């Protein structure tokens, strides 16, 4: 399928994966709309940048209306990319901090999807791409809440896919391993500190920042999104990078206790 005429909405397109994806798709002739919570003074290369805070119903409605107004009600692909993390032991993260993260990573996706689906249903076509992570299959210590949002997103997308299939709308998960973006540095940190976790939390925090800084080029994820956009009927799940593919494989093949040991080893916990 040709990509020229496709209208694509990418949430969180000022940085990292979203920016790389919006730029790549625009360079392939798609009509791309990217978003930022604060687009004033910022611009996208080859795409228009709209205001969007995925935690706000009114902001989501205004953003989707703005795209629909410009395209005559057409959005072919929604790339739910905006997201962040929180580092801290599960016990250190307060429910309020956890809810804040879920509002972005999970309910933000749900809000956007619910706002865009009426346009896709009207045209009996569309693709919803949700950004998960290798952490959506293997939960990492000191990233419990982040992984919980991605596990939730995986389940949500799987069910959504079944529901949308008869309507000719595909729901897809893209799940990279570490990608070189500012996300490790800018992730939230749990404010509450419990001494018993301090050493391991610091180690996990440093590992996460280092792992993400040294991760794959975001353009590799953008290439995968391009593949999804071009596919007539994309697959349910696209792991990106060796780490994510190996996680998938190991999760499918290894007994749970062996898989757990492999994750502990990978997380530097011996």
Ligand X SMILES: NC(=O)c1ccc[n+]([C@@H]2O[C@H](COP(=O)([O-])OP(=O)(O)OC[C@H]3O[C@@H](n4cnc5c(N)ncnc54)[C@H](OP(=O)(O)O)[C@@H]3O)[C@@H](O)[C@H]2O)c1
- Binds ligand X by CB under 6 A, chosen from 3, 27, 28, 37: 37
Our CB check for ligand X shows the closer of 37 and 220 to be 37
Contact set for ligand X, span 76-95 (CB under 6 A)? 81-84
Measured from the Cβ of residue 217, the count of other Cβ atoms closer than 10 Å reads 12
208 binds ligand X (CB under 6 A): no
| Binding region for ligand X (CB under 6 A) out of 32-40, 61-69, 88-96, 250-258 | 32-40
Among 215, 237, 239, 247, interactor with ligand X by CB under 6 A: 215
Phi then psi for residue 28, to 5 deg, are: -90, 5
C-beta separation of 11 from 82 below 8 A: yes
From candidates 7, 22, 24, 54, binder to ligand X by CB under 6 A: 54
**238 annotated active-site:** no
Closest distance to ligand X from the beta carbon of 46 (Å)? 16
- Is 113 one of the binding residues for ligand X (CB under 6 A)? no
| Residue 126 touching ligand X (CB under 6 A) | no
Q: Which of 29, 118, 182, 268 binds ligand X (CB under 6 A)?
A: 182
Q: Which of 26, 30, 52, 164 binds ligand X (CB under 6 A)?
A: 52
By the rule CB under 6 A, 130 interacts with ligand X: no
Tokens at 30, concatenated: 């798609």
CB of 53 to ligand X, least distance (A): 4
Distance of CA 81 to the CA centre of its chain: 4
11 binds ligand X (CB under 6 A): yes
Neighbours of 264 (CB within 10 A): 13
Task: Give CA–CA dist 35/39, Å, rounded.
Answer: 7
Check residue 17 for interaction with ligand X (CB under 6 A). yes
- Candidates 44, 178, 234, 239; binder of ligand X (CB under 6 A) is 178
Q: For the CB of residue 2, give the shortest distance to ligand X in the complex, in Å.
A: 27
Interaction between residue 16 and ligand X (CB under 6 A): yes
Which of 44, 98, 126, 176 is in the footprint of ligand X by CB under 6 A?
176
Q: Minimum distance between the CB of residue 75 and ligand X, rounded to whole angstroms?
A: 17
Residue 100 zone, left/alpha/beta (φ > 0; ψ -120 to 50; rest): alpha
For the record, the structure tokens of 209 come out as 């920042």
23 lies in the site for ligand X, by CB under 6 A: no
Catalog residues that contact ligand X under the rule CB under 6 A: 11-18, 36-38, 52-55, 81-84, 104, 131, 133, 176, 178-179, 181-183, 186, 212, 215
Catalytic positions are 146
């Amino acid at each position: 399928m040709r990509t020229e005429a496709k209208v694509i909405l990418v949430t969180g397109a000022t940085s990292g994966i979203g920016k790389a994806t919006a730029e790549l798709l625009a360079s392939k002739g798609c009509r791309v709309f990217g978003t930022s919570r604060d687009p004033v003074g910022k611009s996208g290369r080859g795409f228009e940048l709209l205001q969007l805070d995925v935690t706000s119903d009114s902001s989501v409605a205004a953003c989707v209306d703005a795209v629909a107004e410009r395209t005559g009600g057409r959005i072919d692909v929604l790339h739910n990319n905006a997201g962040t993390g929180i580092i801290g032991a599960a016990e250190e993260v307060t429910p309020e901090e956890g809810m804040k993260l879920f509002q972005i990573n999970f309910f933000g996706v749900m809000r956007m999807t619910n706002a865009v689906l009426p346009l896709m249903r009207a045209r009996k076509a569309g693709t919803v791409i949700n950004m998960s992570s290798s952490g959506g299959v293997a939960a990492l210590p000191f990233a419990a809440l982040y992984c919980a949002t991605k596990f939730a997103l995986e389940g949500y997308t799987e069910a959504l896919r079944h529901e949308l299939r008869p309507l000719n709308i595909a729901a897809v998960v893209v799940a990279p391993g570490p990608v070189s973006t500012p996300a490790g540095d800018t992730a939230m940190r749990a404010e509450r500190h419990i001494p018993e976790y301090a050493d391991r939390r610091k180690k996990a925090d440093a590992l996460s920042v280092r792992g993400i800084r040294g991760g794959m080029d975001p353009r590799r994820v953008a290439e995968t999104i391009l593949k999804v956009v071009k596919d007539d009927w994309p697959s349910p799940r696209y792991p990106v990078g060796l780490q994510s593919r190996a996680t998938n494989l190991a999760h499918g093949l290894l007994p749970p206790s062996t898989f757990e040991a492999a994750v502990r080893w990978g997380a530097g916990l011996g």
